[in-house]
Amino acid sequence: MIRATLILCATALISSAHAEQIVEAADGGTVSGYASETGVTRLSFLGDAAASVQMAAGGEGAGFSIAHEPTTGDLYISLDGTRRSSRPGAASFFVTTRSGATY
């Protein structure tokens, strides 16, 4: 089983400080983390890189958008501001890495 570590670098939701989340994920697994409500959240892969992102409508889902930087393999997630509430939402998409893993 291929395992990867993902780093989510996001602007902290409560203060102006920055936060880093390190999440381990298995190929074919589900990954959970937090995204900034007001800034851009960077998603990167230790020892690997995103090769492609698949979602419903070409880079934009319900309440969020994703930009893929092909040179670094990083992903940038932005929320559109409609999710501001005490309840967390979900951003659903698939990422295939250069090594062939899918999350």
Going residue by residue through the chain (103 aa), what tens digit of pLDDT does each one get?
444 445 444 333 333 345 788 888 888 888 888 888 888 889 898 899 999 998 866 555 567 888 999 999 999 988 876 655 555 567 788 899 999 999 8
Nearest residue to 61 via CA among 83, 29, 34, 31: 83
Amino acid 99: pLDDT: 94
Query: Residue with structure tokens 């951003």?
Result: 91
* Residue 79 C-beta-side C-alpha neighbours within 13 Å: 19
Contact 43, 49 (CB under 8 A): no
Nearest residue to 80 via CA among 91, 69, 70: 91
Kindly state the greatest CA–CA separation across the chain.
Answer: 38
Contact 27, 2 (CB under 8 A): yes
